[in-house]
Amino acid sequence: MAQPIADRRDVDFVLHEQIGTVDHELFEQFNKKTVDLIVSEARKLAIKEILPTFKDGDEIGCTLENGKVTTPESFKRAWKLFCEGEWLAMCDDPEVGGQGMPRTVGCAALEYMVGANSAFMLYYGMTHGAAKLVEAFGDETQKKLYMKKMFAGQWGGTMLLTEPEAGSDVGALTTAATLNDDGTYTIQGTKIFISAGEHDLCDNIIHPVLARIEGAPAGTRGISLFLVPKYLVNEDGSLGEFNNVVCTGLEEKMGIHGNATCTLALGDKGPCIGTLLGEENKGMPAMFQMMNESRAFVGVQGFAVASAAYMNALDYARTRVQGRHLTAGKDATAKNVTIINHPDVKRQLLNMKAYTEGMRSLHYYYAKCEDIVHTTEDDALKANTAALIEVLTPIVKGYITDKALEVCSHGVQVYGGYGYCKEFPAEQLMRDSRIFMIYEGTNGIQAMDLLGRKLSMNNGQSFVYFLDQIRKTIIEAQKIEGLEVLFEKVELALDRYDVVAYEIGARARSEKVLNAYAFAHPFLEITGDIVFAWMHLWRACVAAPKLVEKVGSLDPEAVAAKVGKNKEAAFYAGVMASARFFINTLLPGSYGKMDAILEGDSCVEDILDVSFGSK
């Protein structure tokens, strides 16, 4: 199979033709040749080393014995090569062991690696996020002891928030921290659903732990953040005694079996020692840095798995022969054709293609926004772009992972009965993708965040800036011949959406607050639809002139005559087809949701517990 994870031509299109990288001295060494080499090396590692772990992770999984977790043997070689290639800190400052590459380029590399095995790459995601916490909030001792070894992948990392009685309601946690005479803290408590919480890929695992110091205020205001290593670390950086962080159970999950999802008992078997990371009672604001990075990474997981599902389904549809062409009629001599020739299969593939390409463009754009914030000296641009990142985060995490499951489901359907069997990867990709809608704040919480915070952030000016970016693309599309129907439909949808956003925002600040939040997730969905229409219109702005250059016009007959002989023409025609399909076929579905929000039926508020069904 030539393209088992991602469409390299589309990766290059988004990287070099649509989004591009930030022009800054920090990135001057990353010219097109260098970027292409990096993506090629990432693709090579993903296909040759990480992809072979995909089945092992699912079928062998992780095993727990005497508090120790063993990962599949193939994971160890893949992790070693991943770390030796310095991929873990590819976008980080060289001073901490990073490669300093643009985040857009890192996003392309991650797409291949995560698409190869999302469970395996969770070990990366947790470690990188924890290392960034140390970089941002650690004192000099903590940075010296932990940071570089974590960025190098010698030591792993996690994020310990959830407890049996404190899931999304983090403020209800009961893990306690008691101050010791030497300034350290004794940590006591139990954490559950901890990804990569215990494993044998690294010599040590550093756990950022949320806990409450004795006498601290109730709720999130009284939560502090601590660094708790699996093994204590001596002053010279060598490993000391076991720190009594014990894995007491592994979750039996629907998917991602290759990642150890642990229950961890801290301090049950003896003293468990942690050091304060940042300030007392400021643990939640600090942890939100890792949570926001993790939300973006979960979006990458959804997108990369969707991309892999699409590429596998596309390959299967091009080779699976079944049924005669619909136009063959009663011709008994007509030969069977590959299933990609059947209209309903083409519809499903085009659905997968349109969503996957929208995901890719949005993720790379999101990454470029991060690069802008990191490099610009324009204070207004920095503030507006940082706010834009916040507005887009619920879409990157919530909408993308919703649609990733849908894409994977279409993938199963394209395979037919075989898609439901383990012989092909479609069913595992679908199982693995289901957790992404729950990770790092469920998608319902992402919807509440979009409505309750992002819509009104900075007195609504950040949301206005977001809408203005879409309108800029519409204005650009107006200058390009052949895009009239597309930009008009996006403009009409955006105008309608603007009305809906104002109405539901006002409702959320009124006595109808419950009604507003009953429609929070539909509002997230239509926001995602608008953003993807924006991305596809933007893609079409780039592709249409280049298709005209290759073909001479956008006339369907002229295009059809050329694409079979010219790969570039075929690619740009595919970009245009995705844009047409999304804007003309999928986007109109948003109008019904927008009408429902404006009508504001109170059914969700009105129905009582007893009316859902018998107990």
Could you tell me the pTM of the whole model?
0.96
- Nearest-angstrom CA–CA distance, 35 and 365: 16
- pLDDT for residue 170: 77
- pLDDT for residue 499: 97
CA–centroid distance for 166 within its chain: 24
pLDDT over threshold 60, residue 1: no
Burial class for 189, CB neighbours closer than 10 Å (0-12, 13-18, 19+): buried
Q: Please write the tens of the pLDDT for every residue from 412-431.
A: 999 999 999 999 999 999 99
Q: Band the pLDDT of 169: cuts 50, 70, 90.
A: confident
Of 119-128, 318-327, 341-350, which gets the smallest average pLDDT?
318-327
Give the rounded percent of residues in the chain with a pLDDT score beyond 90: 92
pLDDT over threshold 70, residue 2: no
Q: Please write the tens of the pLDDT for every residue from 262-288.
A: 999 999 989 999 999 999 999 998 888
- Nearest-angstrom CA–CA distance, 45 and 79: 11
252-262 mean pLDDT: 97
- Across the chain, mean pLDDT equals 95
Of the candidates 222, 224, 90, 206, the one whose C-alpha atom is nearest the C-alpha of residue 159 is 206
CA–centroid distance for 21 within its chain: 20
pLDDT over threshold 90, residue 344: yes
The CA-CA-CA angle for residues 580, 581, 585, to 5°, reads 115
- pLDDT for residue 171: 77
Residue type, 548: V
- pLDDT for residue 129: 95
- Residue 415 has a CB neighbour count (10 Å cut-off) of 22
Residues comprising the chain, all counted: 615
308-317 mean pLDDT: 97
- Nearest-angstrom CA–CA distance, 157 and 452: 31
75-99 mean pLDDT: 95
- Would strands 185-195 and 273-276 be described as parallel, antiparallel, or unpaired? antiparallel
Collapse the DSSP code of 558 into the 3-class scheme (helix H, G, I; strand E, B; otherwise coil) and give the result: helix
User: Which residues lie closer than 8 Å to 187 by C-beta, 6 or more apart?
Assistant: 175, 176, 177, 209, 211, 226, 228, 266, 267, 272, 273, 274
- Nearest-angstrom CA–CA distance, 18 and 10: 10
Q: Please write the tens of the pLDDT for every residue from 543-601.
A: 999 999 999 999 999 999 999 899 999 999 999 999 999 999 999 999 999 999 999 99
- Nearest-angstrom CA–CA distance, 549 and 569: 9
DSSP 335: P
Q: Band the pLDDT of 220: cuts 50, 70, 90.
A: confident
pLDDT over threshold 70, residue 239: yes
- Nearest-angstrom CA–CA distance, 462 and 593: 24
Give the rounded percent of residues in the chain with a pLDDT score beyond 70: 100
Residues with catalytic annotation? 440
- pLDDT for residue 304: 98
Of 37-51, 61-75, 319-333, 480-494, which gets the smallest average pLDDT?
319-333
- pLDDT for residue 289: 85
